[in-house]
Amino acid sequence: MRTWIKRTFMGVFGATLALGLTACGHRYGHERYANMSPEEKTQVRNRAVDRVASRLDLNAEQKARLEALAAKLQQQGAALRGSGDPRAEVRALVAGEKFDRTKAQALVGEKMAAVNAGSPEVIAAFGDFYDSLSPGQQAKVRDFMDRRHHGWWHRG
């Protein structure tokens, strides 16, 4: 595997792990989403797609590609979360007198396998969506990303 691909996967995994550990520290609506039925999660996804589609003025084909991307991202998120409770998994690592490095490494390996398995489909779906956008729509996407470059904690 090429070095840049490995670095990308490690970056995505590191961000996911950091977000997961951060999620352990506060409870702002995570339980609500975690306790939703698959139908409710699909409704939330569809509302997000509709909001993005309206802001970018997407046509039917572009919206279909965005819906495919959103579905792939939702599947990838479910694969990363796994079947257990992520907070319980992290708490189990520090439950004893010492940090359980073996369990942590197994958890990282499990998450990396999920990223490696699903990332080609996510990348392809994102590429299909982005490439279908007009130059003006692509500029709107880049502008949105530039405004958010400070990250989660630097809003406003």
Residue pLDDT, tens place only, 70-91 = 999 988 888 887 777 778 888 8
Backbone angles phi, psi at 8, to 5 degrees: -60, -45
The two tokens of residue 151 are: 């990250």
Give the residue carrying structure tokens 């530039």: 146
Other C-beta atoms lying within 10 Å of the C-beta of residue 147: 8
Yes or no: say if 125 and 68 are a contact pair by the CB < 8 Å rule: yes
Give the residue carrying structure tokens 């084909």: 61
pTM, rounded to two decimals: 0.67
Nearest to 12 by CA among 57, 67, 79, 83: 79
- From residue 145, give the alpha-carbon distance in Å to each of 57, 70, 126, 135, 140: 17, 17, 15, 15, 9
Range with the poorest average pLDDT among 117-121, 129-133, 147-151? 147-151
